[in-house]
């Protein structure tokens, strides 16, 4: 880890200023970084993937560590809320189960005890090449995505190119499915961004980043609206190694069912398969008005992966993700499949 | 002690050279000497003894090499080359030396033949400053073409790893023509390729040393090693000292599994740094270093063809076996491994790549060979519609394997197995598999043990050996306590120091079979010597003195232990012990059974239950032997389902050099584990047990996955992608 | 050793700060306020302008470790693990440096009674919080229930992962004194062992729970 100066402001405004003032280089990997739980940031710093000369501690800022609200009003989740807090919160577990399940699925108890909600959304990709300092890939300012033609078992089958990372966050697909937004403090004050518009594909935003945040921007809060489908939501994560792993594929699903058990509306968001949480409106639309029987699940699963373009070593993610889509929808629909 | 007539006898013993085990014939005194007696007649041995270093280890008090802290100690780091093949054309340490806290910097290897080759090393006052110094070292490379995949290395125009070529035939066996003819008589023939990746030892304590040298004519080297006595020999030339002036200390060590013999390039550089700085240097590899330059289990690529008749006779096996050991030769047991066939033809070759040399790893060469052969046996059995267990029994002679297979089959419930591979309703499918293994594990005459009885009754057993976590400290005490009629707590052990009596390297599962006999001998001698002192007080002959229950008894009189020792001269007594061939054995079997559940929609494999039945002769400590068997099963499980080095062919770099991406099994991966000590083994001798327990589980698991899912995965690890793609292709995976 | 380091020139021109916990947080707060919002200049006691002023070079931290006030001199980048092992005198080497990436659990310590990877905590972030290492749970002579059960059940071999497991499980049993096997596995899934002690680690955790429960019941 490169030496850095550590500063611990007590207000969001000061934090933004300190992040802005410390920016002395154009290399985004050397810009000042905010630190909350540090569970991802420190790993990139130890491997010199990020090399900030200034680290701005956010944990001395008060009021960002609370979960407020309920099923009727929706949730306000402070960015410093830990994954443990979120996973264990009774309201979240009862009324927003996808969110509690996603939080619980993250890494290990130790990481969840420090890792924060804001940090989880801002974590950097786990692509082998990105994480290897010696491999100067596209995301580190190089000219090539080595995964495109290399060892790409864990890489994207949807939305890839020119970089083929997958977004590592477990909360992100669940929050997108629940229609959440993030409140961001920046140089121009606070703004609210729907989470669906927060993440950027490598082909749209900067290939060096995974979201719309400017370097001095700080997520202060996540809002989850009350919805008719939050209570019938789930997050299914498939790991190669259950004890500790990122998702090979994941699905966040939520449905609102009518009195006749037909789907009034559905949300299906894929994780672990694309550079952003991958919402599949085609599958959602196909479910509307249907009962969640096996045929409907099969059709939704097929549509969810219809656009997949696997690389040489990750075609298995198609049947895997299809299975998760069927199971997630079956679960929220009360089926056993 | 009474001297026996020095009759001679010839025995075969294992010798370990750089971690590679070979059997050699030697001549030893046939002394008669002490015997262990019946396995079920021991008071402490063959019982469940909590390990004596347990309290220190569970409370953080145990001091490992990594934990050594000395006044003025510097922290060393090595700089790894980022190229798989290159020549260092220029190296400049000046900028690094100028950085704050940096006290020494040395150049390393110039000829880079694997990514990770240490090209320089630095030492600074803190690890943080040492890391800064590494980045200030300027190295220029002439980058050369590399090859890191066996298939690529075998091509005629491949970059050369060695001038003599990348493929080296190690040997052939059998008759090619006869084998070819034999296939004509078979009812079923299976031809398949099996592959296993490079596996990492992944010792939790990385390789490294603390070299305590502050100038002058002596040094102490703390080492995380499996061979205390290799350290002074290796360190002395680097420090410019006499070998006898260097003391090695190995109080506790955090795992070796075959990778920690000798001081290594990292130890040489630690010595050089200490010499330059004239200060103690702590140089433990980082985890990333450890993956790249601290050895591995060689990968394998095995092209097998086997044939059998419909009554279940294995007729012929033809094998082309490639050992993938990077710069090293690798290791692989010859096929058809433990099975007998009428005709055999095999070729074993090494294929070299630009990767660090493989090293011995817990049962070198065996799990690779066992996985492939046991898969082939299974494929033949299914093809012939035979029970895979019965098919094995028909082609294996030794009754020990029959006994163990029957015991294991009972433990796992073999009769429950899936009649049709992949059959049954629903996505979750259970399956069973089995496999067998073989190992040596004998002892050899290197240990010199002292048992000291103090006049106040204190008992000390001293020998330089190291405890890798196998429980050496505990049985060393127990053997002495058993002999003297004392409790384990009444004896103190001193180990892990090259100034103590000689001992052998802990490789090839030879420690217990080499050390325990020498300890027993020393304790036996101590007892005999004490008996001679005490006999007159009791008014009996020395051989009539009884040592039991912490008392020394004879002729109707009884002395407490301390009272008896008071008969000793002021200096107490020191009894020496050496290896006794009659106390050690050699050659064990082993059978494993696995039950798994495969989710055929996701490819997820859940291990449900593992059983391993192991003969060990006399189990010195049942608790520790069971732990060893558990450990073997779990490492085999890791190899079967998750582990393996991943290299990028273009970059020549390892892509998973950390515990996030190199996936060791964790708590949620654990099945029910049933370690079974095969008490049907009648031998009253000590045999090592560390390695055999790792061998067969990997094959048993692969076969269980097939039985459950109908997918035959021939390339380890058996990950969900391979199972899913196999299901897609109708049962044929990689 | 802390003194030794001060004599060595630090990485950058040193502006030494004395950061100490000022204890603003209420007992329930999870994160905010647990770190100092003020720094004292050069240990002279005068309140500085807040920690808006960056801390760089070497810093002196007052930490609460195993119930004792301990002073550590280190850099802002020094992890809590390295600070415990290298910058304390005498050092605490129970927590082990194994992966340094939050992927193995051997460095587990308790931060305000919750298990965390000390390799993924900056020492500066531990100011004002309660740090407990395996040494604070028991000694070879006076082991806690989990430690004693580990020895009894042979839940260790090389022992390098053991302090992490002991720490994780000791904390977990306080939270859930009568766990099931599945709950134990879930609780220690962030700790990895290479020797293969898992089944006996689980057995030890369950035995410790039972022993503790029995002791309470008696």
pLDDT digits (tens, 9 = 90+) for C163-205: 999 999 999 999 999 999 999 999 999 999 999 999 999 999 9
Nearest residue on chain C to A2, alpha-carbon basis: C77
**B593 Cβ neighbours under 8 A, 6+ residues apart:** B408, B409, B411, B412, B414, B432, B433, B434, B609, B610, B611, B612, B700
ipTM of the complex: 0.97
Q: How confident is the model at residue C4 (pLDDT cuts 50, 70, 90)?
A: very low
Q: CA distances (Å), C124 to each of A18, A119, C15, C206, in order?
A: 18, 19, 15, 36
Q: How far apart are CA C19 and CA A6, in angstroms?
A: 12
Please give, rounded to a whole number of angstroms, the shortest distance from the CA of A140 to a CA of chain C: 20
Do C52 and A18 make contact, defined as CB atoms within 8 angstroms? yes
Do A59 and C35 make contact, defined as CB atoms within 8 angstroms? yes
User: What is the structure's pLDDT at C212?
Assistant: 79
Q: How far is CA B471 from the centre of its chain?
A: 14
Q: How far apart are CA C94 and CA C162, in angstroms?
A: 9
Q: How confident is the model at residue C14 (pLDDT cuts 50, 70, 90)?
A: very low
B632-641 pLDDT tens trace: 999 999 999 9
Q: How confident is the model at residue C41 (pLDDT cuts 50, 70, 90)?
A: very low
Average pLDDT, chain B: 95
Q: How far apart are CA C99 and CA B6, in angstroms?
A: 54
Q: B716 near B650, Cβ under 8 Å?
A: no
Question: In chain B, which residues have their Cβ closer than 8 Å to the Cβ of C138?
Answer: 58-59
Please give, rounded to a whole number of angstroms, the shortest distance from the CA of B480 to a CA of chain A: 42
3 state SS for B145-163: CCCCCHHHHCCCCCCCCCC
User: What is the structure's pLDDT at C181?
Assistant: 98
- Tell me whether B248 touches chain C (CB under 8 Å): no
Q: Out of C76, C116, C121, whose CB is closest to A5?
A: C76
Do C77 and A113 make contact, defined as CB atoms within 8 angstroms? no
Question: In chain A, which residues have their Cβ closer than 8 Å to the Cβ of B727?
Answer: 319
What residues of chain B score a pLDDT lower than 50?
A: 1-4, 18-19, 733-734
User: What is the structure's pLDDT at B390?
Assistant: 97
- Neighbouring-strand partners of residue A221: A78, A183
Question: In chain C, which residues have their Cβ closer than 8 Å to the Cβ of A36?
Answer: 31
Question: In chain A, which residues have their Cβ closer than 8 Å to the Cβ of C51?
Answer: 7-10, 57, 60
Question: In chain B, which residues have their Cβ closer than 8 Å to the Cβ of A149?
Answer: 650
Q: How far apart are CA A86 and CA A67, in angstroms?
A: 8
Q: Which strand ranges, in their side-by-side order, compose the sheet holding B343-351?
A: B167-174, B343-351, B314-324, B299-308, B188-196
Nearest residue on chain A to B84, alpha-carbon basis: A134
Nearest residue on chain C to A59, alpha-carbon basis: C32
Residue of B321, B326, B267 lying closest to B296 (CA atoms): B326
Q: Which of 192-211 (A) contact B at CB < 8 A? A: none
Do B131 and A244 make contact, defined as CB atoms within 8 angstroms? no
Backbone angles phi, psi at A112, to 5 degrees: -70, -25
Q: Which of 107-126 (A) contact C at CB < 8 A? A: 107-111, 113-114, 116
Which one of B114, B132, B600, B648 makes the best mutation probe of the A interface by having the most chain A beta carbons within 10 Å? B648
User: What is the structure's pLDDT at C55?
Assistant: 80
Tokens of B112: 């880079």
User: What is the structure's pLDDT at B11?
Assistant: 67
Question: In chain C, which residues have their Cβ closer than 8 Å to the Cβ of B61?
Answer: 94, 135, 139-140
Question: In chain A, which residues have their Cβ closer than 8 Å to the Cβ of B649?
Answer: 150
Which one of B660, B715, B726 makes the best mutation probe of the A interface by having the most chain A beta carbons within 10 Å? B660
**Token match 């190296």: residue?**
B91
User: What is the structure's pLDDT at A205?
Assistant: 81
- Tell me whether C49 touches chain A (CB under 8 Å): no
Do A132 and B720 make contact, defined as CB atoms within 8 angstroms? no
**B404 Cβ neighbours under 8 A, 6+ residues apart:** B436, B589, B590, B591, B613, B614, B615, B678
Question: In chain A, which residues have their Cβ closer than 8 Å to the Cβ of C35?
Answer: 8, 57, 59-60
Identify the three-state secondary structure at position B377: helix
Neighbouring subunits of A (3+ Cβ pairs under 8 A) = B, C
- Tell me whether B669 touches chain A (CB under 8 Å): yes
Distance, first Cα to last Cα, chain C: 47
Residue C44 pLDDT > 60, yes or no?
no
Q: Which of 145-164 (C) contact A at CB < 8 A? A: none
- Tell me whether B135 touches chain C (CB under 8 Å): no
User: What is the structure's pLDDT at B33?
Assistant: 78
- Neighbouring-strand partners of residue B25: B12
Q: Out of A149, A241, A323, whose CB is closest to B663?
A: A241
Question: In chain B, which residues have their Cβ closer than 8 Å to the Cβ of A242?
Answer: 666, 668-669
Q: Which of 126-155 (C) contact B at CB < 8 A? A: 133-135, 137-141, 143, 146-147, 150-152, 154
Q: Out of C78, C141, C159, whose CB is closest to B128?
A: C78
- Tell me whether C192 touches chain B (CB under 8 Å): yes
Question: In chain C, which residues have their Cβ closer than 8 Å to the Cβ of B69?
Answer: 1, 86, 90-91, 93
Do B653 and A319 make contact, defined as CB atoms within 8 angstroms? no
pTM for this entry: 0.94
Size of interface A-C (CB pairs under 8 A): 138
The dihedral region occupied by B587, where left means phi > 0, alpha psi between -120 and 50, and beta the remainder, is left
- Tell me whether B126 touches chain A (CB under 8 Å): no
pLDDT mean for each 10 residues of chain A (337 residues):
96 96 82 97 98 96 97 98 98 98 98 98 98 97 97 98 98 98 97 98 94 97 98 98 98 96 97 98 97 96 98 98 98 76
């Amino acid at each position: 880890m490169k030496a850095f100066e550590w500063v611990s402001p007590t207000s969001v405004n000061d934090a933004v200023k300190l992040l802005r003032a410390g920016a002395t280089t154009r290399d985004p990997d050397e810009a000042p970084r905010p630190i909350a739980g540090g569970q991802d940031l420190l790993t990139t710093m130890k491997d010199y993937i990020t090399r900030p000369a200034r680290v701005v501690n956010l944990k001395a800022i008060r009021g960002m560590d609370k979960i407020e609200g309920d099923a009727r009003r929706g949730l306000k989740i402070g960015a410093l809320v830990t994954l443990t807090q979120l996973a264990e919160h009774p309201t979240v577990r009862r009324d927003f189960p996808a969110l509690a399940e996603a939080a619980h699925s993250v890494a290990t108890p130790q990481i969840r005890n420090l890792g924060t909600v804001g940090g989880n959304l801002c974590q950097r990709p786990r692509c082998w090449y990105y994480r290897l300092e010696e491999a100067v890939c596209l995301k580190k300012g190089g000219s090539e995505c080595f995964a495109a033609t290399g060892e790409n078992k864990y890489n994207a089958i949807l939305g890839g190119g020119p970089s083929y990372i997958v977004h590592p966050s477990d909360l992100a697909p669940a929050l997108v499915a629940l229609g959440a937004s993030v409140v961001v403090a920046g140089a121009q004050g606070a703004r609210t961004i729907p989470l669906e518009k927060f993440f950027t594909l490598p082909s749209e935003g900067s290939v060096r980043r995974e979201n719309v945040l400017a370097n001095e921007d700080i997520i202060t809060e996540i809002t989850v609206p009350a919805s008719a489908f939050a209570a019938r939501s789930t997050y299914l994560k498939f790991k190669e190694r259950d004890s500790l792993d990122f998702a090979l594929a994941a699905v966040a699903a939520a449905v609102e069912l009518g009195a006749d058990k037909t789907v009034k509306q559905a949300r299906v968001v894929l994780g672990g398969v694309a550079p952003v949480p991958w919402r599949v409106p085609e599958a959602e639309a196909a479910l509307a008005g249907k009962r969640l029987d096996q045929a409907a699940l099969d059709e939704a699963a097929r549509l969810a992966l219809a656009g997949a373009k696997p690389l040489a070593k990750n075609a298995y993610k198609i049947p895997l993700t299809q299975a998760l889509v069927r199971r997630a929808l079956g679960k929220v629909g009360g089926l056993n499949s | 002690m009474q001297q026996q007539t020095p009759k001679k006898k010839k025995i075969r013993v294992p010798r370990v050279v750089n971690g590679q085990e070979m059997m050699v014939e030697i001549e030893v005194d046939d002394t008669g000497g002490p015997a262990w007696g019946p396995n079920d007649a021991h008071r402490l041995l063959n019982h469940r003894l909590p390990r004596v270093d347990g309290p220190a280890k569970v409370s953080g008090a145990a001091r490992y090499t990594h934990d050594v802290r000395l006044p003025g100690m510097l922290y060393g780091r090595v700089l790894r080359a980022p190229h798989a093949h290159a020549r260092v054309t220029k190296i400049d340490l000046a900028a690094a030396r100028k950085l704050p806290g940096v006290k020494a910097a040395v150049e390393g290897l110039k000829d880079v033949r694997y990514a990770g080759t240490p090209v320089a090393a630095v030492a600074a006052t803190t690890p943080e400053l040492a890391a800064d110094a590494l980045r200030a070292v300027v190295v220029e490379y002439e980058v050369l073409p590399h090859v890191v995949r066996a298939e690529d290395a075998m091509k005629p125009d491949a970059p050369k790893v060695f001038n003599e070529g990348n493929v080296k035939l190690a040997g052939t066996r059998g008759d090619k023509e006869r084998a070819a003819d034999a296939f004509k008589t078979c009812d079923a023939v299976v031809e398949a390729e099996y592959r296993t990746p490079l596996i990492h030892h992944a010792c939790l304590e990385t390789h490294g040393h603390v070299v305590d040298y502050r100038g002058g004519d002596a040094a102490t080297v703390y080492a995380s090693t499996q061979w205390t006595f290799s350290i002074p020999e290796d360190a002395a030339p680097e420090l410019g000292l006499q070998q006898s002036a260097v003391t090695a200390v190995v109080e506790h060590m955090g795992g070796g599994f075959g990778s920690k013999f000798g001081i290594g390039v990292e130890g040489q550089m630690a010595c050089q740094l200490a010499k330059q700085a004239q200060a103690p240097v702590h140089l433990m590899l980082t985890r990333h270093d450890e993956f790249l330059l601290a050895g591995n289990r060689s990968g394998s690529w095995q092209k097998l063809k086997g044939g059998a008749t419909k009554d279940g006779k294995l007729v012929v096996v033809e094998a082309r076996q490639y050992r993938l050991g990077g710069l090293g030769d690798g290791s692989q047991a010859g096929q058809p491994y433990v099975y007998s066939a009428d005709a055999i033809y095999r070729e074993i070759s090494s294929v070299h790549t630009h990767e660090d040399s493989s090293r011995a790893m817990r049962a070198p060469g065996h799990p690779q060979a066992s996985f492939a052969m046991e898969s082939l046996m299974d494929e033949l059995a299914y093809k012939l519609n035979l029970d895979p267990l019965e098919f094995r029994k028909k082609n294996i002679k030794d009754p020990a394997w029959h006994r163990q297979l029957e015991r294991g089959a009972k433990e796992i419930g073999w009769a429950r197995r899936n009649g049709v591979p992949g059959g049954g309703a629903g996505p979750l499918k259970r399956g069973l598999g089995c496999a067998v293994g073989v190992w040596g594990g004998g002892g050899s005459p290197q240990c010199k043990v002292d048992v000291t009885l103090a006049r106040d009754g204190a008992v000390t057993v001293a020998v330089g050996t190291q405890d890798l976590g196998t429980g050496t400290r505990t049985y060393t005490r127990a053997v002495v306590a058993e002999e003297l009629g004392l409790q384990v707590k009444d004896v103190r052990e001193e180990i892990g120091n090259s100034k103590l009596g000689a001992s052998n390297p802990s490789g090839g599962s030879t420690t217990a079979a080499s050390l325990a006999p020498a300890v027993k001998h020393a304790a036996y001698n101590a007892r005999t010597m004490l008996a001679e002192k005490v006999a007159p007080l009791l008014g009996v002959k020395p051989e009539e003195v009884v040592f039991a229950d912490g008392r020394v008894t004879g002729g109707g009189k009884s002395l407490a232990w301390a009272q008896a020792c008071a008969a000793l001269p002021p200096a107490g007594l020191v009894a020496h012990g050496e290896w006794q061939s009659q106390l050690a054995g050699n050659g064990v079997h082993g059978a494993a059974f696995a039950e798994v559940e495969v989710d055929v929609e996701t490819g997820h494999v859940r291990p449900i239950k593992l059983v391993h039945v192991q003969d060990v002769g006399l189990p010195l400590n049942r608790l520790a032997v069971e732990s060893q068997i558990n450990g073997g099963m779990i490492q085999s499980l890791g190899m079967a389902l998750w582990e393996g080095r991943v290299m990028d062919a273009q970059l020549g770099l390892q892509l998973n050099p950390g515990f996030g991406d190199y996936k060791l099994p964790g708590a949620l991966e654990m099945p029910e584990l049933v370690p079974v000590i095969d008490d049907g083994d009648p031998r009253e001798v000590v045999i090592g047990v560390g390695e055999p327990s790792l061998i067969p589980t990997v094959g048993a698991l692969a076969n269980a996955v097939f039985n459950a899912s109908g997918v035959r995965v021939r390339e380890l690890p058996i990950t969900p992608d391979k199972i899913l793609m196999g299901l897609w292709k109708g049962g044929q995976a990689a | 050793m802390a003194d030794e380091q001060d004599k060595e020139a630090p990485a950058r021109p040193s502006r030494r700060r004395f950061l100490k916990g000022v204890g603003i947080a209420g007992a329930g707060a999870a994160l905010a306020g647990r770190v100092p919002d003020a720094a004292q200049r050069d240990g002279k006691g005068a309140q500085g302008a807040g920690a808006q002023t960056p801390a760089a070079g070497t810093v002196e931290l007052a930490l609460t470790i195993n119930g004792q006030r301990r002073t550590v001199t280190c850099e802002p980048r020094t992890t809590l693990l390295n600070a415990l092992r290298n910058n304390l005198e005498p050092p605490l080497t129970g927590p082990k440096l194994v992966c340094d990436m939050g992927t193995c659990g051997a460095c587990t310590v308790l931060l305000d009674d919750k298990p965390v990877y000390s390799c993924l905590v900056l020492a500066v972030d531990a100011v004002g919080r309660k740090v407990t290492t395996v040494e604070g749970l028991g000694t070879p002579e006076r082991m806690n229930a989990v430690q004693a059960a580990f020895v009894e059940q042979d839940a260790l071999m090389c022992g390098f992962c053991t302090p992490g497991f002991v720490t994780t499980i000791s904390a977990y049993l306080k939270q859930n004194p009568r766990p099931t096997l599945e709950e134990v596995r879930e609780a220690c899934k962030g700790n990895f062992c290479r020797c293969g002690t898992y089944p006996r680690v689980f057995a030890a955790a369950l035995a410790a729970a039972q022993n503790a429960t029995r002791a309470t019941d008696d």
